[in-house]
A and B are shown apart, each in its own frame.
Chain A
Amino acid sequence: MKPFTYERARTPAEAAAAALRHPGAKFIAGGTNLLDLMKLQIEAPAHLVDVNGLALDRIEATPEGGLRIGALVRNTALAADERVRRDYGVLARALLAGASAQLRNKATTAGNLLQRTRCPYFYDTNQPCNKRQPGSGCSALGGITRQHAVLGASQACIATHPSDMAVAMRSLDAVVDTVKPDGQKRVIPIADFHRLPGDTPHIETALEPGELITSVSLPKPLGGTHIYRKVRDRASYAFALVSVAAVVQRDGSGRVALGGVAHKPWRDDSADAALPQGAKAAAARLLAGARTTEDNAFKLPLVERTLVAVLAQARS
């Protein structure tokens, strides 16, 4: 790790201001991804602003009948919350499918959204990577690409977003609540929160410098059957090759989002509309425009089959 100075912030506004005051500063909450990357010097902040004291660790009902999840709510606490288990099962399931119990005990809601790709070329500091070192090139293109994106990728980057939680939040139309260093608050729909790589894969979210996530809000419960199905190389404690978050109603209508296939959770309105026609129709729309490599072409039939399994489970 590179040396860094450290401070504990007491309010969200103070944290955002501190981040802006120190160029190259990072917020630290759970630290489970940031410290991993700092040890490898992929991240090398000169200053850390510890936000654990901000009292953003509560889950509260909203006036609209939804839930406001504090940025610092740990993944374990969120998955175990009675309201989340009852009304947002897809979210509880996605959280429980991610990482290990030890990591979920520390990892936070905001940090989960901000975790960085697990592309092995991003992690290998001996290799060019446009995300790690803008303009250096993409080693994954032409490399081993079994884990990589099949949707929304660019010539600069074919990395995937590793979060399970974010995929469930995308299916639920969550919104991300933030505060900027000047104290101004902002609400970012989850659909707009993560960016596609384009020419700037190092810019991963819509957050501005110093902007701090304070909570994630869920709309009122959708009802229906909630399913999160994750396909991975091990039975536990592995990132998704493909995952499906689904909320399916009795009449067959519903909504689906995919994980493991793109730089952000993937959802398509026309696929949701096609859901009553079955998995094949919905998968065709979700995967429209997919571009594969020899290594990751398996993801297309895997998405369709996972969707078949999800819809069968919803009917049973």
Chain B
Amino acid sequence: MNSHNPLTVSRRGILIAGAATAAATSLSKDAMAANEPPSANAGTVPTAGVTLEVNGKPHTLTLDTRTTLLDALREHLHLTGTKKGCDHGQCGACTVLVDGVRINSCLTLAVMHPGAKVTTIEGLGTPRKLHPLQAAFVKHDGYQCGYCTPGQICSAVGMLDELRRGIPSHVSADLNTRPLLSPDELRERMSGNLCRCGAYSNIVEAITEVAGGATA
């Protein structure tokens, strides 16, 4: 039952093959006969090289310039912990840390980050040694489906660092005093991460526990 049938073909594979056949048959005879590599202008897309340090490991990639940091992580480095939610910076599922700062990886190009140190959920902890926030999310059940969780956790790591650095928020009463982590502050600072399951109250509990431990 476990052996793979070499004749198994996926539906997607058939569709792609069909499309390729259709494309081939629509080529003119001259084009078929020429049998030359495509010129730089026709059929190729501009590429650029970039070296990123992802979770402590350097990677040199040559990418279609359009590749977002999110797609570079998922499709090229196969780090699929970072999730694609809306792909428009509205949901926060793709949040990663770049040089320690949380950003939406869907709204930046990989080629814009030469030499950057990127940390994804895979770089925060391992199944044997969870990051404190990962452990707290498990303990407090800070999710249902789990799709937003890697983004929530990376965002929380960045958020707690912003708090340590004294960065104010929209709900900070006084701009000139050091902000403290209240439930209001936490909700405001995490508002860029949506959870469609609505696990917010448990997410707040998980982050609060870790923040309390970190600042004690």
Contact = CB atoms under 8 A, between A and B. Distances in A.
A, B assembled together: yes
Interface of A: 1, 3-6, 28, 30-32, 35-36, 39, 48, 50, 52, 76, 79-80, 85-86, 89, 92-93, 96-97, 99-103, 105-106, 235-237
20 contacts: A28-B109, A31-B109, A32-B107, A35-B68, A36-B107, A48-B109, A52-B112, A76-B162, A76-B167, A85-B176, A92-B168, A99-B192, A101-B159, A101-B189, A101-B191, A102-B92, A102-B104, A103-B89, A103-B192, A237-B191
A28 B104 CA distance: 16
Nearest to A31: B108
Nearest to A84: B175
Interface centre among A85, A92, A101, A236 (most CB of B within 10 A): A101
Contacts of A79: 167-168
A312 to B, nearest CB: 17
Given A3-B66, A100-B192, A102-B192, A80 B167 contact: yes
A235 B167 CA distance: 19
A56 B103 CA distance: 20
Given A4-B65, A35-B68, A101-B159, A80 B166 contact: yes
A237 B169 CA distance: 12
A6 B104 contact: no
B168 A97 contact: no
Contacts of A97: 170
Interface of B: 45-46, 48, 64-66, 68, 87-89, 92, 95, 101-104, 107-109, 111-112, 155, 158-159, 162, 165-170, 172, 175-176, 187-189, 191-193
B89 A101 contact: no
B168 A96 contact: yes
A6 B88 contact: no
A86 B165 CA distance: 17
Contacts of A39: 87-88
A102 B103 contact: yes
B65 A48 contact: yes
A164 to B, nearest CB: 10
A212 B59 CA distance: 33
Contact of A102 (B68, B155, B175, B188): B155
| Shortest beta-carbon contacts, A-B, top 5 | A100-B192, A236-B191, A85-B175, A6-B65, A237-B191
Contacts of B95: 102
